[in-house]
Amino acid sequence: MATKAASPNVADVTAGHKTSSRTIALMIIGLALILVAPFLIYPVFVMKVLCFALFAAAFNLLLGYVGLLSFGHAAFFGGAAYITAHAIKQWGYPPEMAILLGTGFAAIMGVVFGYVAIKRQGIYFAMITMALAQMFYFFCLQAPFTGGEDGIQGVPRGKLFGFIDLSNSLNMYYFVAAVFIIGFLFIWRVVHSPFGSILKAIRENEQRAISLGYRVSRYKLGAFVISAALAGLAGSVKAIVFQLASLTDVGFQMSGEVVLMTLLGGIGTLMGPVVGAVLVVSLENYLATSSLPVPVVIGSIFVICVLLFRRGIVGEFNAWMDRKRG
């Protein structure tokens, strides 16, 4: 299906930027903001943003750097949330164990889903991931341990490593921030590693990569699993922050939201998903109290982004800075 010369790849829009001093400056600013945020803004809100930022960054690893649009990423996010919630509430696991369990579960799901989905490319891949996630949704709807429509509620925050009390908002916040920063840096490292370069080569010209001897499916699957695991990490942490795992987390709306965050923020940029997450979470917060129907606004933004704003905010910013340089 891929005729790369004829139909430009979604990720070609913005990718190809080596980490410039500009990006490093942005990251340092971001770090500073993260550190002071709980004193300026309602901590639960910022924690929500950080969880979704990690989720979106994980999604973007697959879309922006490998060129694969997964329309079912909520399965990893929500699946891990369920496992973590269940592990804490029913089995009494400490938070760090529960998170590891949730992330591991997401990684395994990533192997299974990825193995099937990677057999096709492009839109087929998107449709397959969508259908697989929907299958998982129906499973979660019916499975007894998920609590069905109610979900798993009242998950205790617990004591991290046995002594850090996470019911203290500030403790919880800095833990979430640490997880986010580690996850983000991990993605950064992957993108700039030899593995990441091969992924980029595959995205640009798969045939050539194959002829050079690379087992392309293995690399794609590897990227898929990493992406799934990180999405699961985000979901696991989210379950502890909100003390809840529910059907919304594995639902189709959730998968769509993370796509929007990445598109709006900038596909194939490191900061894009983060910016997108901030915007979308803030927007939804605002819309919750207004009378405007949320899907209509989200859908309209999708349409506008696809038509006029494909590079996303960070992408447009990068392009503008490049033009200024001459």
Partner 1 sequence: MVTVFGISLPALMGQLLIGLINGSFYAMLSLGLAVIFGMLRVINFAHGAQYMLGAFFAWFLLRYAGIGFWPALVLAPLGVALVGVVIEKVLLSRIYNLDHLYGLLLTFGLALVIEGLFRHWYGTSGQPYSIPSTFQGAFNLGFMILPKYRAFVIVASVVVCLATWLLIEKTKFGAYLRAATENPTLVQAFGVNVPRLLTLTYAIGAGLAGLAGVLAAPVYQVSPLMGQNIVIIVFAVVVIGGMGSIMGAVVTGYVLGLVEGLTKVFYPEASSTVIFVIMVLVLLVRPAGLFGKE
Interface with partner 1 by CB under 8 A: which residues? 1, 7-10, 69, 71, 116-117, 119-120, 122-124, 126-128, 130-132, 134-135, 138-139, 141-142, 252, 256, 259, 263, 293-296, 298-303, 305-307, 310
First to last CA, the chain: 37
Nearest approach in angstroms of CB 141 to partner 1 is 8
Nearer to partner 1, 31 or 306 (CB): 306
SS3 label, residue 159: strand
Nearest approach in angstroms of CB 108 to partner 1 is 16
Nearest approach in angstroms of CB 75 to partner 1 is 12
The tokens for 208 are 């050539």
Nearest approach in angstroms of CB 178 to partner 1 is 33
Four-CA torsion 288, 293, 295, 300, nearest 10 degrees:
-110
The length of the chain is 326
Nearer to partner 1, 91 or 286 (CB): 286
Nearer to partner 1, 188 or 252 (CB): 252
Nearer to partner 1, 94 or 122 (CB): 122
Contact 70, 59 (CB under 8 A): yes
Four-CA torsion 267, 272, 275, 278, nearest 10 degrees:
50
How far apart CA 200 and CA 204 sit, in angstroms, is: 6
List the beta bridge partners of residue 164: 160
Nearest approach in angstroms of CB 228 to partner 1 is 16
Nearest approach in angstroms of CB 284 to partner 1 is 13
The tokens for 175 are 């833990």
Nearer to partner 1, 249 or 257 (CB): 257
DSSP 13: G
Q: Residue 9: phi, psi to the nearest 5?
A: -70, 140
Nearer to partner 1, 82 or 175 (CB): 82
